[in-house]
Structure formats: structure tokens, C-alpha cells
Amino acid sequence: MKLTRLTVHRYRGVAPGTELTPSPSLNLLLGANGTGRTTLLELFSTVIGSDFASLIHEPFALEYELALPGLKLHVYARNESEVPPRQEALARQGAGLLPMRAAGADTGLQPLIELELRWSSPSARLVMRADAEGIDCKVDGAPVWSRAMSWSLLDRSVWTLLFMTAQYIDAGVKERLKPLLRRTFLLAPQRFDEMLGTFERMSAMRYAMEVRDGEVFPLGLMALPSWMPGWLKERVELEPDVDALELRHDALEQGFLARFVSLADLESGRLRVEVLEKRPFENGGRVGFGGLAFQFVRRGGHSLSQAELGFGQKRLLSLLYYLDGNEDFAILDEPANGLHPRWVEASLRELGGRQVFLASQSPLPLEHPVFTSEEELHASLIFCGPVSQEGREHLGWRHPSRQMAASLFDAHRSGARPLGALLREHGLW
């Protein structure tokens, strides 16, 4: 999955009409402190996860597009004092959902989410509209489902709305939705922050699996390594009476633990996961996990707990864990902070084919990118800085001009100087 376009009509102090067309691979956010780089990273996290619960009390209007092979998704999400009225002729049927939030102060804002999903082969089009009173869905222009709701719309992600819709539409369309729903069920790529926030969240993680109609469902929108739910399920079925599960680094060669032990030049590593809740999977059972803990051994045989790791080691461990849990995207804030240059280079190699959004004041991450075309470089650079509109200063996010991209690429392809040096020479960083 890739984010192909983001248009900001209204969002905090950002210039209205800001439009970005990100690169499908590496995107570098460049700018001085206070120019909105972290704000943009957080916005990328919000739209990719399509979860607007954090914006429920503030006005916004955001338009974005996501693409997968054979499928394109366009979303327009807003929370404003006035939104376009519903035009559907089909009456909405009632539903028994209760609001997720207790009634509070009326903000005067009306939420609206409009979604268009297009398949290419065979061609098909699904349109969904959800507002404060309910939800409507059309397939190829024909109304197929409409429901009145008593709900707090923005407490539900776009992916949850699609999942609800899939239960009531034609079986053939539902079947075509399944690959997207599987891919987005736990899609919530958070910002990998500049300090130890990700490391601390790892230890505080709580996760559960529950059986419904014979299928195992993960509960909780946290990023786990893609292999971990299957490993947890298998181990708890083999050892139903244990209170904790352990994994050695060499049991999974491509896992984050093995890569950390190798990069940190350690002898071994072990992950321990507590089993917090146990009900047999049969007949609606549930198993809960948490309390991730790590133990390592240095080359000389000295034991090393996770608390004894240095700042850079904690950052490296949590970055590798983060990448193991986010196969499509990486949203990185100062990833070089605390890392040895060799670790920075190795971490950049770990990014693989992900779409990456990276902000850095350190020149180290800018020493390694290689661009093969002027177009690629143009899409990959996003400059953050103040802009003036109608006499007011706003946060501005923009790609370089075509002329500037051409000049940078000509200098870059000679290979004489790293990108960071070229940007400084052009007064761009």
C-alpha cells in the first residue's frame, strides 16, 4: 500500500490548499525547528491509519489517496461547522449502536467521511458516505446499503466503516474487499519518535486474541511484528498452562531480535511475553498477552537486561521492532538520534520497500539515499517552512520546484557529495 496524494484544505496552522504527492519509497522532510516537520509526520500517521479520533474536537478537512495493486482509494474526511447535505433517496434504516463517547460540550462541528474505492480488473466502484446520523453505500452507482446510526463517527476508523459495510453488501464485492480489510485491520503506523517513546510502549503493550465463529481475531490496534500473533497462538496452544512465553533470537533469523543481536554485536538475546489472560480458544475463548521483556548476553558472557541497555541500543532495538510491525510504512522522527553511523546505515537498509517519511536534523540519514531520476528526487523532498497567504503566516509544506529538482539531481548523480551537503550548498537545509 502507498499514500499517493495528500491535500490539506483545513488543518491547524497549515496553508489551505497544500498538496503533496509523496514518493512511493523515501520521503525526506526538511526544515528548521518549528516548521511543522513533526506535525506533518503525525498527519501522515493519521491519514494512513485513517483514524481521526484524535481530531474529534477540532476542525479539519483532509483529502488523500491510497493505492494497492489493482485498487485505488480516495478519502475526503472533514469535521466542520457546515458539510454538504445528504442527497441519497434511499431511507436509512435504524440501528442500535450507542455513542462511544459521553455527551460533552457541543463543538458545533459536523463530521463527514466520503470514500471512493475503485478496482481496475474487473472494473468496479464502491462509494461510501458516513455522517453524524448514519452511513450510505453505493456500488457502481446503485444504492446497496443505508443505515441510521446513533454514534460518534470519528471514533471509528475508515477501515472499521468499510468492515461494517462489507457485512451488508453483495457477496462478490465483499470478497473483493477482503484483501484490503485484512491488510488494514491493524494498520495504525505511529510516529517513531525522536526519543524513547516507542521503546517504552513496547514494554507497556497489551494484546489479545479471541475466537469468533472459529476464526482468531486480534484485539487492540497496536503494531506487533507480523510473525508474532501466529507465534503466540501456536505457543499458547502447545503450552496452555504456562504464565510466560520465551523466544531466543536465533529461533527466528529474520526477526527484529536476531537483527538487533547481530548489529549490537551481542552473544544472544531472549524475549519474554507474559500470558495475562487465558480462556480456552474453544467456544469463544480469549488469550491476553503483555509485559514484553528482553534479556541479552554480551560476547564476554555478561548478562544485560533491557534496563541496562544504553540510549542508542534502546533506540536501535525499538526501531527494528517498529519496522517488524509496519510492513508497508515507516514514519520516522530523527531516527539517527543516539545511533552510531554504522547503525544508521544498517537501519536505512532495513527500510526495504516501505514507503518512508523521515525527518532528520542529523546529516547521517542524508548520506546514503541514491536517486535515479529527477522525478524521483522531486517527489522525495518535502520542504517545511513558513508561507504567507492573504497577509497571514501559515505552515508550508511543498516539493521543490522542477528547476531546483533538476539542478539538485545534476549535482547528485555525479556522486561527489552526499545529498545533505548539496542541500546546504543550495540554501535548502
User: Which is it for strands 329-333 and 355-359: parallel, antiparallel or unpaired?
Assistant: parallel
Q: How far apart are CA 166 and CA 145, in angstroms?
A: 10
As a whole number, mean pLDDT of residues 229-239 equals 85
Cα end-to-end distance, the chain, whole Å: 30
In whole angstroms, give the CA distance from residue 116 to residue 75: 7
Q: Could you give the CA distance from residue 46 to residue 55 in angstroms, rounded to a whole number?
A: 9
Rg (CA), the chain: 23
**Read out DSSP for 250-310?**
GGSTTSHHHHHHHHTT-SEEEEEEEEEEEE-STTT-EEEEEEEEEEEE-TTS-EEEGGGS-
Residue 214 or residue 409, greater confidence: 409
Confidence of residue 100 (pLDDT cuts 50, 70, 90): low
**pLDDT higher than 60, residue 319:** yes
What predicted TM-score, i.e. pTM, was given to this entire model?
0.93
Work out the percent of the chain whose per-residue pLDDT is above 90: 70
Report the alpha-carbon distance of residue 190 to residue 362 in Å, rounded: 21
Residue 290 corresponds to which amino acid?
Answer: G
Residue 98 has pLDDT above 50, yes or no: no
Please say if the pLDDT value at position 101 is more than 60: no
Query: What are the tens digits of pLDDT across the range 345-400?
Result: 999 999 999 999 999 999 999 999 999 999 999 999 999 999 999 899 999 999 99
pLDDT at 10 over 80: yes
> How would you class 307 by CB atoms within 10 Å of its CB: exposed for 0-12, middle for 13-18, buried for 19 or more?
exposed
pLDDT at 213: 64
Whole-angstrom Cα distance, residue 211 to residue 218? Answer: 9
